[in-house]
Structure 1
Amino acid sequence: MTRTTNDRPAVVPVLAFAGIVVAVMQTLLVPVIKDLPQLLDTSPSNATWVLTSTLLSGAVATPIMGRLGDLYGKRRMLVLSLAVMVVGALVSAVTSALLPMIVGRTLQGFAMGAIPLGIGLMRDMLPREKLGSAMALMSSSIGVGGGLALPAAALVAQNTDWHALFYGAAGLGILAIALTLFAVPESPMRAEGTFDLPGALGLSTGLVLFLLPITKGSDWGWTSATTLGLFAASAAVLLLWGVYELRSKAPLVDLRTTARPAVLFTNLASIMVGVSFYVVSLVLPQLLQLPTSTGYGLGQSMVVAGLLVAPLGLTMMFTAPVYARLSAKHGPKFTLILGLLIIAVGYGAGLGLMSAAWQSLVIAVLLGAGIGLAYSSLPALIVGAVPASETGAANGLNTLMRSIGTSVSSAVIGMVLANTANTVGGVEIPTMQGFRVSFLIATGAVAIGLLLALFLPKPDRAPRLRASSEEEANLARAEEALRGFRGRVLDSGGAPVARAKVTLIDHSGRQAGATLSAEDGSYALSVPAQGAYVLAAKANGHGPHASSATHAGGDGAVDVDLALPTA
């Protein structure tokens, strides 16, 4: 029989903990961000790369690890992501030089792949009634971990050597690896094809060429040949990458799937949610810690500033069960729009609430609630729009979009704050103008995200998008099309086999469809055209089985039962 989370009750908490560890790594240096130029003996624009490099490598790692997880096993790649993060944390722990620090932080960014991999594992193992809330928890863990990390990291940095932050992150990563190996079984789901190395290199190159001039444009000059040349090179590389991906038989990113309205507008909105999430993480801690002698700084200690911003992540955690109820009633599109509206209110209020510490707390709570609802909606919208075998890659792409948003946010806001800073005693101090411009940028991003969310499929399609299991979505499609194959997956004794993977292969040997059997063993697959096909089924605890079948065309379904031998 297929192993489920009933056999492993710790699966969801362990995967959520891995997501929290990733978030801790991502926000580890936020409490000391204003001191990084002095700590690393470099300029503010260069110091920005200590944060941006992590976000950039995370942006690249998410689709790569998602695809590798689909091909070779999601748990295996989850452990690998966390192991690379541990190595990167140890590299950063032993240096105070800029370049080695960026190398270490780049390696730490690979842990971002844990988010789509964790969602993919939940998708493969959880029963449908538990999947929505579990994915919401996993998706919002990035904010939960960030909220918890801020005061903890501030406490460590204020009372010990700041390098201890990295030793702590390495310890958490090792614990997450151990728990994953102990509590999380490997998923039986595998995608067809090979890994797209040229696609991975092309995406990495294009993103680096895009973010580098955003970060350094103010130093080089926005109209300089270097800045414009890098932007042009980025556009050319990403265009060529897109053409290559469309022609590849096994692309890193299936751009045709991405073109579906439910996927396309969700991913574009995800970029804007990513931008809005990171702005508050960069602005509020600095505003709170600046001395009152500046005329606008709130004069709080590092620890108090962390505690005042912590509700951002804690509120995200509490919105996960609220999201599950709202989404069950109204659908994930509704919760995404509601979340974006709350974020807009939070940033709009923040433009006028920057004069007292308690006001920062209000802003953090509002933004946490909105970002929590928005983040929780994204994986549900993606999972409802792609086949089961593409879940890891599709969620990896969605996390990539969020990571691009946070990377652009880090680079742009870092540039804004550096360009509007005042030099006092040889130290560059961010100004209130810079903080307000940053909040305006976030508000604009949310407005664009809200517009994109409105283009998602209409509410009358919400039941299809809310389908928590692949068998429901595919059965619904087969019932509408009335052209394909249907039947049951049974064991050697005639008992139904739940969550068996059934793959449809056409006469040329290519995959034409895939699904998972329902709890009663039933499956349904539509066919693109008449002709001869092979139906292949496999499940844990059973040997594989393949059966030839022919569809003569026209409406109607051909009944084909698949009997799996005992392994």
Structure 2
Amino acid sequence: MSRSTLSRATTSFAAIIGFLAFVEFTSGIIQGYYTPLLTDIARHLGVHDADVNWLEGSQLMLSALVVPAFAKLGDMVGHRKMLVISTAVTAIASFALVFSDEFWVFLVAWALQGFYVVWLPLEIALIWSRSRSTPRPAAITRRAAGILVAFLEFGAIAGALLGGALIDSLPLQIVLLVPAIAVALCFFVILFGVKESPELTGGKLDTTGLTLISLALLALTGGLSFLRLNGPADLLSWSLVALGLLLVWPFAKWELRHPDPLIDVRMFRNPALWPVFVTAGLFGVSVLGAQAPLSTFARTDPTEVGYGLGTEGFATSLLIGGYVLAMTVGALLFPVVTRFVAPRVALICASLLVAAGYLLFVPFHGDYAQVMTNMVIVGIGSGALVAALPAAAAAAAPPTQTGVATGLTNSVKTVGGAIASCVFGIALLSHVGGGSHSTAGSFSGYLTVWLVCGGTAVVCAIVLAFVPKLAFADPTPVEDDALEAPVAS
């Protein structure tokens, strides 16, 4: 390839990364902006702090349904096309939140806003498809994933700080307008700035498989939601959970027979992929399911119930900002660390950092500095995993299943988060402190959150030890600047 051709290819690739970085910055705003507002949203809607988990759980449930279809359609008709559609839905839902005063209306809009979760796996699949023809696609994808996740976390920091600052001085509905405008801008950035993937598989969507997996996920998450309402002794709730698990079997049988399945379940037998999917699911417990409890613990008044930090909106946003900044550091460090150690080893170390941070909450949670230290440790490991898991899946997946594989890391992560959100909601409602009129979650519930998150991260590290030693790596050594590799235009 000539020098001028290489220069044009590098410039084209850098431009794509730049536009996608803006998309992830917007995704970060969505993920960080609302967290310091959750207590205010609960008061505005007249619900208990623990009911905030309904918002998180409903969004995670819908996200779990959306990602398989959009990931497969991305491989079939175009990753950029599905980015445009998902961003349009997210923008409409974000504006709907501004005008929602009833809890059920807010809940529906919040759930539909969850379409943004398909952005990162679609972007990683698009990058992999454009770098596949180069000698070092895995390194390029890891580097690009680190950049995208870094911008995601920068957006989350900006969103958390801005949301926490504005809520102390402006009405809630005006504050909610900011992320809606950001998503609208993001729509036009994708529409006019991002080029489509060069290789598409075509074909027809496996609607039967999509229906079966959707019914399974609805039954599973619906049963868990009823458990929160009716308690662990409710037979209907457990029946729905069992039905959801049982429906996975006919789905898997159908996919094995289908010539172009929605999800190639054979990937779960791949020695390099199944540990990634298991890790993603367990990682979802902490990175998704524990967000609301961390925020509400910080806002809980210790003079009322004997635990919590009693922080105001901006002080809470600083905590979240420190956590997200640590995630940024972890995302950027991961591709650097993998120059010296195998990606598998880096993934194990990241999981152990998450475990250490959450388990430190058990003895150390009494003041602001302790909580911030724990969250920074968790954040470094979490940032590395957010960037690494879809990139690892793309590197190990069959060529025609890149979008599906990256989407699966997000799907199983979302399912893990949805399950954790329901379980944590039940735990926080048990033995609520401060008397019968208190809206604070129980201390035993917070202990449950920390122990479960720490324990699942330990299991992640154990599972990743089964990955082949050279998995996710390029067959030849890579140079320092992986983004200088030629990319198909």
Kindly provide the CA deviation profile for residues 512-543 of structure 1, in whole angstroms up to 9, marking residues without a partner as x.
xxxxxx979xxxxxxxxxxxxxxxxxx87xxx
Kindly provide the CA deviation profile for residues 111-157 of structure 1, in whole angstroms up to 9, marking residues without a partner as x.
11111111111112246353321122334655554343322222233
Aligned partner of 2:174 in structure 1 is 164
2:242 to 229, 232, 235: 232
Aligned partner of 1:110 in structure 2 is 115
Change (3 A) 1:355 1:221: closer
Letter in 2 for 1:269: T
Distance in 2, matches of 1:148 and 1:413, equals 27
Aligned partner of 1:79 in structure 2 is 84
Kindly provide the CA deviation profile for residues 450-500 of structure 1, in whole angstroms up to 9, marking residues without a partner as x.
12111111x2x24xx21299xx9xxxxxxxxxxxxxxxxxxxxxxxxxxxx
1:361 aligns with 2:372: yes
Distance in 2, matches of 1:366 and 1:82, equals 32
- Note if contact 1:145-1:313 (Cα within 8 Å) is conserved in structure 2: no
Residue 97 of structure 1 and its aligned partner are, at CA, apart by 0.9
Change (3 A) 1:29 1:322: closer
1:347 aligns with 2:358: yes
Aligned partner of 2:481 in structure 1 is none
Distance in 1, matches of 2:158 and 2:426, equals 27
Change (3 A) 1:340 1:244: same
Residue 216 of structure 1 and its aligned partner are, at CA, apart by 2.9
The worse-fitting range, judged by mean Cα deviation, of 326-335 and 75-84 is 326-335
Aligned partner of 2:192 in structure 1 is 182
Kindly provide the CA deviation profile for residues 393-445 of structure 1, in whole angstroms up to 9, marking residues without a partner as x.
11011111111122222222122112232354723212322211210111111
2:259 to 249, 260, 265: 249
Identity %: 24
Distance in 2, matches of 1:137 and 1:367, equals 19
Aligned partner of 1:51 in structure 2 is 56
TM-score normalised by length of structure 1: 0.77
Aligned partner of 2:474 in structure 1 is 467
3-state SS in 1 of match to 2:396 = coil
Aligned partner of 1:123 in structure 2 is 128
The worse-fitting range, judged by mean Cα deviation, of 19-28 and 330-339 is 19-28
Structure 2 runs not aligned, ≥5 long? 478-484
Kindly provide the CA deviation profile for residues 320-344 of structure 1, in whole angstroms up to 9, marking residues without a partner as x.
3321121122221111100011111
> What does 1:28-43 correspond to in 2, within 5 Å?
28-42=33-47
- Note if contact 1:384-1:468 (Cα within 8 Å) is conserved in structure 2: no
Kindly provide the CA deviation profile for residues 187-208 of structure 1, in whole angstroms up to 9, marking residues without a partner as x.
1210142112222222222112
> What does 1:340-419 correspond to in 2, within 5 Å?
340-419=351-430
Larger Rg computed on CA atoms:
1
Between Structure 1 and Structure 2, the one with more strand by share is 1
Aligned partner of 2:460 in structure 1 is 449
> What does 1:294-333 correspond to in 2, within 5 Å?
294-333=305-344
Letter in 2 for 1:65: F
Structure 1 runs not aligned, ≥5 long? 473-517, 521-538, 541-567
Kindly provide the CA deviation profile for residues 249-282 of structure 1, in whole angstroms up to 9, marking residues without a partner as x.
2211111123211111110011111112235522
Between Structure 1 and Structure 2, the one with more helix by share is 2
Change (3 A) 1:275 1:141: farther
Change (3 A) 1:30 1:320: closer
Aligned partner of 2:220 in structure 1 is 210
Change (3 A) 1:42 1:305: closer
Kindly provide the CA deviation profile for residues 152-203 of structure 1, in whole angstroms up to 9, marking residues without a partner as x.
2222333222233442222111211222233321112101421122222222
Residue 72 of structure 1 and its aligned partner are, at CA, apart by 0.9
Change (3 A) 1:407 1:24: farther
Residue 20 of structure 1 and its aligned partner are, at CA, apart by 3.1
Distance in 1, matches of 2:236 and 2:41, equals 26
Residue 38 of structure 1 and its aligned partner are, at CA, apart by 3.4
- Note if contact 2:427-2:442 (Cα within 8 Å) is conserved in structure 1: no
Distance in 1, matches of 2:379 and 2:161, equals 16
Distance in 1, matches of 2:262 and 2:174, equals 37
TM-score normalised by length of structure 2: 0.89
